[in-house]
Amino acid sequence: MSRFRVGDKVRVREDWPEQRGPVHIRTPHYLRGRAGEIAALLGVFPNPEDLAFDRPAPRLPLYHVRFRPEALWPEPVSGETLLVEIFEPWLTPL
C-alpha cells in the first residue's frame, strides 16, 4: 500500500546516512530537504539500498517526484521541472 497519491506535496528527508558508514543511496544529495510533488506511483520494488549489500530487501513504493526549478537552483529556468524516482521512505508529507 502506498502512502502518497499523485498531486501530494512531499519533502525529501534531510538525512545523510553516508556519514554513518558504508551505504548505497539512490536519493540525490541535492534533493534532500527539498519540496516536490508526487507525479506518479511507479510500482513496488525491492529496496536497492539493501540489495546493494545482499541484505533482505523490503518491497517499497517508488514514485516519480516532480521538482520545480526554483525549489532547487538559485537561477532557475522558467517552465522546466525535474522528475526523479524516489522510494517512499525518503519522502515526508508537506
Percent of residues, the chain, with pLDDT higher than 90 = 60
User: Is residue 84 over pLDDT 90?
Assistant: yes
**Total domains in the fold of the chain:** 1
Query: Would you say residue 88 lies in a domain?
Result: yes
Segment 42-47 mean pLDDT: 96
Alpha helices in the chain (DSSP H): 48-51
Model confidence band, residue 85 (pLDDT cutoffs 50, 70, 90): very high
Structural domain for 41, as ranges = 9-93
Q: What's the whole-model pTM score? A: 0.88
Query: Would you say residue 15 lies in a domain?
Result: yes
3-state secondary structure of 55: coil
CB burial class (10 A; 0-12, 13-18, 19+) of residue 35?
A: middle
Model confidence band, residue 11 (pLDDT cutoffs 50, 70, 90): very high
pLDDT at position 52 is 87
Query: Would you say residue 83 lies in a domain?
Result: yes
pLDDT at position 69 is 87
User: Is residue 76 over pLDDT 80?
Assistant: no
